[in-house]
Structure 1
Amino acid sequence: MTRALILDTETTGLDPTTGDRVLEVAAIEVVNLLPTGRAFHRLINPERDVPPEASRVHGFTASMLADKPLFAAILPELLEFLGDDPIVAHNAPFDFGFLDAEFVRAGVPKLSRSRMVDTLEMAKKRFPGLPNSLDALCRRFGIDLSQRTTHNALLDVQLLGQVYLELMGGKQPGLALATAGGGSLRVAPAAADAAPVSRTPRPIVPTPEELERHAAFIAKLKDPVWATLEG
């Protein structure tokens, strides 16, 4: 069993070194590339203003977050959910950088970079020279984007889970993926009464001319091994 976490954060800006903070964190659990239905999602009071340009991206304002817990309060539960497994994110250094800053502020060791799986880098290697944003990848893989009107972290990790599955090799033969409640993926087994596939044998029979050419080729071989074997 291979467990990983698909993670996304929303923030007050682009640079934690200038005081920008995490205001939303979401993660879903995947086992053998498929979501299990377990999720972590928290809105956070960033303890600072939320610039209008950031609000236009994710839809959150400072007043909407004023009564939410501080990052330090949600950190123990987040760490328990993440465990020691790989963490998958799109443009993962961005999310890891913000989490680093929050962890340091809370006096907790940073996440090991050995756990980081960056789907943006995976996409760049697979589709060099093409747009590889989450939206672009969803469109390329035929993943429904109709609910993505803002950059909501919980919706983004659900979409990224589907993108990650595709980047790792696509939907497995014989499995149908269905969206369950909350947008997580479930394996839908094939119907029990599905008709078996019928195949007609197509034996390959060489022509006399092909047999003659084959015999002529064999005759040219020097000391073939099978000539020493008893019939």
Structure 2
Amino acid sequence: MKKIDIRQVVLDTETTGMNFSPPYYLGHRIIEIGIVEIINRNITNNNFHTYLNPKQIISQDAFNIHGISNKFLFDKPIFSDIVNKFLNYITGSELIIHNAQFDINFLNYELSLLKNNLPKIESICKIKDTLKIARNLFPGKRNSLNSLCSRFNLDNSKRHLHGALLDAKFLAKIFLFMTTKQNTFKLELLKIKNNNIDIKLPFFYKKQIEKKFLIIYASNKELELHKLQLKLIKKKCGFCLWLK
């Protein structure tokens, strides 16, 4: 039986700005699209990337985020020039986006401006929001792209400004980390010697064996304060298990 490839594409955009009230995308345009392809959970080099001339002024707030100027975009294509190539690239794939509704609204707005009865993004792609995944995995924690990079030990020190393709590359790795599942319960055994006796341990003990942990002992003052706290508990409750 022929294996069916699972294709996912990780997308990010940069824009001229956003309004302060919904719908945020109205009056603003996309100036960069970056997409990274994942096939069978392997990141490929088949990326999609383009800058776009929005034919309007980029807001100062947006420029401070991505650093893309109107001068730089002057000779770049407009959205209608690349729309067919863009749609052909994403159609039928699962679309992975961080805070997906923001980018989807902008993309659908661009499509609507063409007035060619082009389909909405959600009708040609299944959409998965990595922000929702992150919030389920790390409730109550910051789940921005920078925060997730730190959490998964990804070096984002060169990410001084936002960039659609750069951010899509980071997000692709983060998505794979967040959706990795254990496929087997097989425990590889690590053979070590202890007093000339061979001992077999699961492989995940290896780092614990090799790493020397720093042990910090309580000071005399801390021990005395601890005893006082236990006595206070006994006085208030009539009993303190830890004093036995």
What is the CA–CA distance in structure 2 between the aligned matches of 1:131 and 1:44, rounded to whole Å? 31
User: Are residue 136 (structure 1) and residue 154 (structure 2) matched?
Assistant: no
The counterpart of 1:67, out of the listed 75, 80, 85, is: 75
Q: Determine if the alignment matches structure 1 residue 126 to structure 2 residue 112.
A: no
Give the AA of the match of 1:70. Answer: I
Runs of 4+ in structure 1 deviating by more than 4 angstroms, as ranges, are: 170-173, 196-202
In structure 2, how many angstroms separate the alpha carbons of the residues matched to 1:197 and 1:37? Answer: 36
* Distance in 2 separating the partners of 1:123 and 1:169: 13
Q: Is the 8 A contact 2:18 2:25 kept in 1?
A: no
For 2:26, the aligned partner's letter is T
- What is the letter of the counterpart of residue 50 of structure 1? I
What is the distance in 2 between the residues matched to 1:124 and 1:13? 25
In 2, the alpha carbon distance for the partners of 1:161 and 1:58 equals 19
Tell me the CA shift for residue 109 of structure 1. Answer: 1.4
Helix, strand or coil at the partner of 2:101: helix
- Where does the alignment leave 5 or more consecutive residues of structure 2 unmatched? 192-197, 201-244
- Which residue pairs with 2:9 in the alignment? 5
Residue correspondence of structure 1 range 1-231 to structure 2 within 5 A: 1-15=5-19, 17-106=25-114, 107=116, 108-112=118-122, 115-169=126-180, 199=191
Distance of aligned partners of 1:12 and 1:44 in 2 relative to their CA distance in 1, 3 Å threshold? same
The alpha carbon displacement at 1:64 in A equals: 1.3
CA 1:172/1:47 → structure 2, altered by over 3 Å: closer, same or farther? farther
CA distance in 1, matches of 2:79, 2:103: 14
- SS class of match (2:92): coil
Contact conserved, 2:149 with 2:155, CA < 8 A, in 1?
A: yes
CA contact (8 A) 1:103 1:110 kept: yes
In the TM superposition, what is the alpha-carbon distance from 1:70 to its structure 2 partner? 0.4
Q: Within 2, Cα distance between the matches of 1:34 and 1:64?
A: 33
Q: Distance in 2 between matches of 1:23 and 1:32?
A: 30
Contact preservation (8 Å) 1:5, 1:85: yes
2:120 and 2:81 map into 1 onto residues whose CA distance is 17
Structure 2 match to 1:182? none
Report the RMSD for the aligned CA atoms in angstroms: 2.2
Structure 1 distance, partners of 2:182, 2:112, is 39
Give the 3 Å change call, closer, same or farther, for CA 123–57 of structure 1 in structure 2.
same
TM-score (norm 1): 0.72
Deviations 1:180-208 (A, max 9, x none): xxxxxxxxxxxxxxxx9775687xxxxxx
TM-score when normalising by structure 2: 0.69
User: Per-residue deviation at 1:18?
Assistant: 2.9
String of CA shifts for 1:114-172, please: whole Å, max 9, x gaps: 61110000000000000000000000000110221100111000000110011102798
What is the number of equivalent residue pairs in this alignment?
180
Aligned identity (percent) is: 34
Secondary structure, aligned partner of 1:146:
coil
Q: Is the 8 A contact 1:165 1:171 kept in 2?
A: no
